[in-house]
Homo-oligomer: A and B are copies of this chain.
């Protein structure tokens, strides 16, 4: 957490938080398409114009993304034991990261939201793009290859495809299903070169 100095900076954080909270609540009860920026602002006690000083789109307020998470993912992947293959490193980092996230109320809420409101998938995909770049940076550091080397890019993209699929499967699965298990299985398929299951 960055230090907050001064009344001004504090108020900014509070406003941002109020907007996000208002957006989340309204979308939760009405669905994403039935909520207008105006309503969100009314609830947060802020003018509509101000909304766009904080977020560039309605969806961004609902599911925002912190650049700090990307930085964390990059270094976490880079610093896994060198003996591990890149995919293994990614698998380890994501399994624990997602596991942690599921423990946090805020994320539990958002995941539930995505589960219920398919209209937010677009935004979710955008966020995953951010994760993909972070993973690519980590793999690049770890292998000494360039970020845009084909191997690095494919590894990051395929890994994100795997988590995305696992999360998708989880949203379709019955309540109580363990997401970590699905992520693990998805990565196992990846690491096997996508060989069909013995079955």
Distance of A142 from chain B, by nearest CB (Å): 9
Interface assignment of A154: CB less than 8 Å from any CB of chain B: yes
Interface assignment of A35: CB less than 8 Å from any CB of chain B: no
Interface assignment of A190: CB less than 8 Å from any CB of chain B: yes
Distance of A166 from chain B, by nearest CB (Å): 8
Contacts of A151 in B (CB 8 A): 189, 194, 196-197
Chain A binding surface SS class: helix
Evaluate contact between A194 and B87: CB separation under 8 angstroms.
yes
Chain A interface bracket (under 10, 10 to 19, 20 to 34, 35 or more): 35 or more
Interface assignment of A182: CB less than 8 Å from any CB of chain B: yes
Interface assignment of A125: CB less than 8 Å from any CB of chain B: yes
Interface assignment of A191: CB less than 8 Å from any CB of chain B: yes
Interface assignment of A44: CB less than 8 Å from any CB of chain B: no
Contacts of A182 in B (CB 8 A): 150
Distance of A29 from chain B, by nearest CB (Å): 27
Q: Which residue of B lies closest to A129 (CB)?
A: B125
Contacts of A109 in B (CB 8 A): none
Known: A86-B194, A194-B87. A162 touches B168 (CB 8 A): no
Interface, chain A (partner B; CB < 8 A): 85-87, 125, 143, 145, 148, 150-151, 153-155, 157-162, 164-166, 168-169, 172, 182, 185-186, 189-197, 199
